[in-house]
Amino acid sequence: MAVTSVIVIGAGIVGLSVAFEALQSGASVTIVDRDPAGDKASYGNAGGIAVTEVIPASVPGLWKKVPFWLLDPLGPLALRVGHTPQMVPWLWRFARVGSASEVGRISKALASINSRVYDDLVPLFNKVGLAGDLFRRGALTVYETENGFLRDEHEWEIKRALGVEMQALSAREVTDMEPALGPIVQRGVFTPQWSHITDPKKVVDVLRMWLVANGAKIVQGQVDRVYSTGDGAEIALNGGTTLAATKLVIAAGAWSARFARQLGDRVLLESERGYNTTIAAPGVTLEREVIFADRKFVATPLSVGLRIGGAAEFGGLQSPPNFKRSKALVKLAKLYLPGLREQGGVEWAGHRPATPDSLPVIGRSSASQHIIYAFGHGHLGLTQGPTTGKIVGDLLFDRSPSLDLSPFSAARFSFRKEK
């Protein structure tokens, strides 16, 4: 019996997780990336395993807040003017899914993936030597006012109905858990199912090296085109090299949309650039990830320091980063962590692959059953990567996925296939 050959475009956490599952299932695996070990969203994320994040970004009433965020040049949301015309279809769909019924539908779909996270992530970590790099200490969401806490009460109730465990906390209970937090914090919510890792870069480095040690091949190159060949797939690299396989997985993060378009699937995918600063000697200690609900950013204690991250900037894949946003996040963190030392921070920016409905694109392409999509995870790439790998593995080897994939289909964007 011939061995199935699989090409995976993308060496981020999702692509590597797909490669892991394909390799475990006996396939011959080739991973293609323009910079396999380089800087990408999987390298610089906040390190949270955010299983409780089941509410989409677009919710009822959000439109009232957006103008105020956009007016703040260093606020939690930015839209670069030159990129706005290209975003009209994405923004239109984003607005459409911000209804109560759509939030309910999307939240159930997100929960269907997130409920499986530890079943898939823990065995992968154990297998590749990362068992000691996962800290299941929960997360703490904090609020500056009682009104802020009450404002989010409905979303917490949605989460609770979908299996999210939560404990409402007073200001005193918050500081008992995290003494480094200052008096600005008035309320909090503890979510014990959340966890965090030691260092996102270490995770992808260890996983990539394990894959190579166990037979996967990594090819460095820029993919120009993808093709269906009837009984398989082929890719063309910049420079003229072509590679063929019986199966192809597109897991190129924010760069995936153009490959899908070549196959006739017009998906709505944007780069949502995030920023962070990592301070090696912050002068404060946190035991778990802290989410600052009012200001839309987080702080995570990693082995490389305290990572302070957030912001959502829409400006396309080519615009230069604005590292003033990284600096602004540190200033905000100082409000909550009075003892924070701001010196010595390492700034970073990366492209999150964002869909307007906050659901990833997972499933077969319309062009061929041999070409599978695995991208668009937004803020949840690290969280959902191993589970996406399992799901894609089922599709690669014609097994029945254990969850309904229809909410994740590229067909949901309602564009007709191009001829």
How many angstroms separate the CA atoms of 205 and 218, rounded? 13
pTM value is 0.96
The H-or-E segment that residue 311 falls in is: strand 305-314
C-beta separation of 47 from 195 below 8 A: no
What structural domains and CATH numbers belong to the chain?
5-43+202-266+358-413 (3.50.50.60), 51-98+132-196+269-354 (3.30.9.10)
Per-residue pLDDT at 419 exceeds 50: no
C-beta separation of 246 from 229 below 8 A: no
Per-residue pLDDT at 416 exceeds 70: no
How many angstroms separate the CA atoms of 313 and 321, rounded? 9
C-beta separation of 284 from 359 below 8 A: no
C-beta separation of 408 from 387 below 8 A: no
Provide mean pLDDT across the span 237-261.
Answer: 96
The string of pLDDT tens digits covering residues 179-199 is: 999 999 999 999 999 999 999
In this prediction, residue 132 carries a pLDDT of 97
The string of pLDDT tens digits covering residues 263-277 is: 999 999 999 999 999
Per-residue confidence band for 76, with pLDDT thresholds at 50, 70 and 90 = confident
